[in-house]
Structure 1
């Protein structure tokens, strides 16, 4: 009988060996960022500002936290970044503060329109904006290359994929995968199955009520949720949904399977970065608590 274990070990060993021998980055380095711009990094960046929490976490996971001289308002992990100067949020950045810190690289989102004014000020800017599940890995590689941390990038990816696989082993073959509605905003907004959060929901052993055709983070018609009759509702409390017209008839509401996501888990779930395995584990424990007794 074929035993897959040796093959799995060899494959993992090969991946780790490849990571151990990743070549240093050669500068000047030209990359295409998420705004479609050609950006040339002349030398290894030593004074970096990150204005997106997921990028901040990735930079630190790469062992480059010491390069950070400033972060956005919402970057709060790891704890050491909370001591850094704050340069505002995505839509209310403090451009003067950024310039005053004299960075040699600012890592921005593709939203917020920071790239143009900072570039005019003579500051090198790269837009790195992870949005899909696969982006978690490709953007880790990109930041690793830019920051001369390519070996570390491969190690981060290996660790994340291992953490995800450990959860999937438990959830992949569960007999019942509850039909689930995940609310991320009371307007209401939800998650499509192809968004990074939607992929996590599927990996956690749930079925998403939101059709892919509605997009990754759609505003939804409440009547769609009533008609879909999910067995599990996430991201909102029971009392709130009981007050919505027609929602008392939903299976999840009748059985009390309405779960407000704890704040710490909610934060990690919203960041496509190196803690995504931790986020999946927390989500799987809510969807299938019986697997973790």
Structure 2
């Protein structure tokens, strides 16, 4: 028995490398069928690729026979020219776009300017119409001026006549003619102002002054500075009385007189006397 065991162990050791190679190859042997199938499939694919390659080589050969280097150079030059032309056209297009934007801005400005121009034209038209109307009014006023002036003179003469007749002993009719020049006439007798007596002239001047005050200002008071200047001594007292009567006739609330003589002494309500000397100056008495 020991001899047999030793023989078996020796046999085992001798075939152990073969067995290990068997175990190592067994996995690949188990995959043989699938790998053979893959190999057949890859061979079929290779066959198709080779067929396509031969067809492509055949077409390439045909195309090589018809290929011309000169035509290629011409085509390249045309391509370069077209590329340059496209670049130029692109630049021109960009310039045109910028110019179009500027023109749009200018067009909007033009529209705004047209709107302003229309407004100005409208204003000018209105001003022309207003000027025409003003010219028409000027002509109308110019033509109506004599009539208006005469009407105003008639009104003032009427006021003066009422005042004059209240302070004069003989009633008169006063006419103030505005055309062709201002002239004052007293009826009856058609006497002009220069033909009146000194007293009548003074009374008429007072009446006209008060009448114009009533017509133009509506004042209820009047101030006279030296009303007796240039009047003779006999007429001063009459003038003082005439002025007081004039105050009542003109319905003045207040009459202030500044005078150097005594024509108004005892005739006015309040009197303030001033005396001026070289030594003491002006003082109230």
TM-score category, normalised to shorter length: under 0.3
Query: Could you state the TM-score of these two structures normalised by the residue count of structure 2?
Result: 0.18
Larger radius of gyration: 2
TM-score, normalised with respect to structure 1: 0.18
Q: Which has the higher helix share?
A: 2
Higher relative contact order by CA 8 Å / sep ≥ 6: 1 or 2? Answer: 1
